Amino acid sequence: MSSQPQLLTDPFLQLPTENSIRVVWFTEFLGSRHTVTFGYNLEKIVKANTIKLSRTREDQKSKFREQTAENQVYQQPVWRNIWRHEAEVRGLIPGQRIPYRVSSEREDGEIINSKVFTLTAKPLPGTGLKILLTSDHQLMPMTAANLQKVTEIIGRVDAVFFAGDLVNVPDRASEWFDDNRGHAFFPCLQGKANYKLEKNGVSTIYKGGEIIQHAPIFPTIGNHEVIGRFSQSSSLSEQFYDTFPREVAKQTYQGKVNLKDYSFNTDTYEEIFTLPNDSPGGEKYYAITIGDVRLVVLFAACVWRSPSLASTVKGKYRESDRDLNTPENWGYGQHIFEPIHQGSNQYQWLEKELNSPEFQQAKYKVVMLHHPPHTLGDNIVPPFTDPVQTIDRDSDGTIKSIRYEYPKEKDYLIRDIEPLLNAAKVQLVFFGHSHLWNRFVNSSGVNFLETSNVGNSYGAALGEKKRPVPDSNSANYVATGNPNGLDPIIPAIAPLVNENNQPLPYIASNDLTVFSILNTAYGTVSSYCFDTREPNSPVIKFDEFSLLAS
């Protein structure tokens, strides 16, 4: 045992109701007693339930404790013991914010207390809220700076809507808790990061923001919350990319008890968070009301594959030549993890939810997903549809090549989902995945916002910048602009300009970081930009639009 025991994370808040909220934290010891004390004088106490995370490991690529890129410690994945503690604080009154802290007692009797934070019940309709819209943190260089500026400029937010890609490899524990570079997921969102950002020869330490200790977080699954086939030898990064379609796995691995180990799973994500679980997908997609907002969260994500057409690459559009005769090594293109097309369980649930009184009567109707319906980013190509496999053979039956096509007219988000959103009068569709800021509005008045820019941007496909596509003459693969027709909106307040002083309809930068706030008191979505090259520069509000009809 350490002589200076500590919690692995501060507490964070989950699943509020009208009179309760869940408090969650993590330790690296099982302990003998874990509690939350709360009340104006911390006079009340409730005991936590504890589970052990079932898939968390460290590996060759972990930046954990003494291991660095130059100092290799782990030669293969090793299990990491982490326990999750959750207590439900009840008897709350909406609008009343009260103090709380958590305590964990080790087996040797040592007690570790958190600092005192605040919590409250789920806000009632009519309550003005400030909700942080964010995504794609993935331990990117500007994440800590981004979240630090949220707290400096906005103060305490009331909720966090997180549109996927929380970390890079979901089973690598240090990415969530304690990456030794100082910018893991929880430290950044809890003001406990310690990340040195170097720009133009100047180093600045950013701490992130003390956010989720006071505000519940509502995430969605991105492609980085999904890990592929289980292995005790290959690195966790290799396992992350080694996803295998579930239906193919059923045929390939007949008789296997735990099919997730032979295809893909989201177990770590689902174990870390407590979310509504009354949909057919459980916590994978859900809906909840927060104040005047009805939030619908979808599972719209697919495996990322390389766009390269090289013969050695298992990519979006082809299989590697070396794997042609070994189907268990095929990648099956950019396959979708959870069906969302018309007729699927998720589609039918969404259709029912959009017609529910909770949704129809909400002042603000918001849908969150990871994959972009509209964007200038690279990741919207190929279309969001099931890959169509073509196997070319010689006259003797030998496989010459395996190709994948993605018919644009079968893009499920555009063909099936957007018409539902239009009919339901959704006001905001919020998403991520392409690591930039841009927004759109369609003829039905639906606003589409992507605000994911924390230091891993590949630019916007506009003008001379083109996406890597297999065939620039194919209507299925659009090299520039938004493939799905809508024009990007120029920011309303202070757009960036190009070399000809023309305003740009996006921010795609590894120096400028962006965050957005939904303010339900005014019905506005405001976007802010901070230039990390100038640590003392102000945060600029560069865009704002209304969700209320004019």
pLDDT per position as a tens digit, 122-150:
999 999 999 999 999 999 999 999 999 99
> What's the pLDDT score for residue 257?
78
Residue 333 contacts by C-beta under 8 Å, 6 or more apart in sequence? 305, 315, 316, 317, 387, 389, 404, 406
The answer, yes or no, to whether the previous bond of 382 is cis (omega within 30 of 0) is yes
Rounded to the nearest 5°, which phi and psi values hold at 173? -60, -40
What is the DSSP code string of 455-474? S-------TT-----S-TT-
Conformational region of residue 191, where left means phi above 0, alpha means psi within -120 to 50, and beta covers everything else: left
Q: Is 225 exposed, middle or buried (0-12, 13-18, 19+ CB in 10 A)?
A: buried
pLDDT bracket for residue 2 (50, 70, 90): very low
Task: State the Cα–Cα distance between residues 296 and 35, nearest whole angstrom.
Answer: 32
- Is the per-residue pLDDT at 193 higher than 70? yes
Task: State the Cα–Cα distance between residues 241 and 315, nearest whole angstrom.
Answer: 11
The predicted-structure confidence for 278-287, as pLDDT tens digits, reads as follows: 999 999 999 9
Asked if 337 and 304 touch (Cβ cutoff 8 Å), the reply is no
Average pLDDT, the chain: 96
> What's the pLDDT score for residue 70?
84
Residue 221 contacts by C-beta under 8 Å, 6 or more apart in sequence? 164, 266, 269, 284, 299, 301, 337, 338, 370
Q: Range with the lowest mean pLDDT among 506-510, 530-534, 546-550?
A: 546-550
Average pLDDT over residues 194-222: 97
> What's the pLDDT score for residue 1?
40
The predicted-structure confidence for 48-101, as pLDDT tens digits, reads as follows: 999 999 999 999 999 999 998 888 999 999 999 999 999 999 999 999 999 999
Amino acid at 439: R
pLDDT bracket for residue 526 (50, 70, 90): very high
Rounded to the nearest 5°, which phi and psi values hold at 284? -70, -30
Percent of the chain with pLDDT over 90: 95
Residue 345 contacts by C-beta under 8 Å, 6 or more apart in sequence? 280, 281, 339
Average pLDDT over residues 19-32: 98
Task: State the Cα–Cα distance between residues 71 and 63, nearest whole angstrom.
Answer: 10
pLDDT bracket for residue 473 (50, 70, 90): confident
Q: What is the DSSP letter of 543?
A: E
Asked if 540 and 494 touch (Cβ cutoff 8 Å), the reply is yes
Q: Is 396 exposed, middle or buried (0-12, 13-18, 19+ CB in 10 A)?
A: exposed
Task: State the Cα–Cα distance between residues 404 and 332, nearest whole angstrom.
Answer: 8
Paired tokens of 354: 């959009």
Q: pTM value? A: 0.97
Paired tokens of 107: 């087996």
> What's the pLDDT score for residue 68?
87
Instruction: Please choose, from the candidates 96, 92, 98, 132, the residue with its C-alpha nearest in 3D space to the C-alpha of residue 117.
Output: 98
Q: Three-class SS of residue 161?
A: strand
> What's the pLDDT score for residue 69?
83
Q: Three-class SS of residue 186?
A: helix
pLDDT bracket for residue 394 (50, 70, 90): very high
- Angstrom CA distances, 225 to 61, 137, 167, 334, 539, stand at 17, 12, 7, 16, 31
- Is the per-residue pLDDT at 3 higher than 60? no
Task: State the Cα–Cα distance between residues 514 and 349, nearest whole angstrom.
Answer: 33
The predicted-structure confidence for 441-468, as pLDDT tens digits, reads as follows: 999 999 999 999 998 999 999 999 999 9
Asked if 190 and 213 touch (Cβ cutoff 8 Å), the reply is yes
Residue 381 contacts by C-beta under 8 Å, 6 or more apart in sequence? 307, 467, 469, 477, 478, 483
Element of type H or E holding 98: strand 98-105
Q: Is 185 exposed, middle or buried (0-12, 13-18, 19+ CB in 10 A)?
A: buried
Average pLDDT over residues 365-372: 98
Q: Tokens 């003998």 — which residue?
A: 32
- Angstrom CA distances, 222 to 36, 168, 283, 369, stand at 31, 10, 13, 8
What is the DSSP code string of 294-345? EEEE----B---B----TT--BSSB--GGGTT-GGG---SS-BSS--STTSH
Average pLDDT over residues 232-260: 93
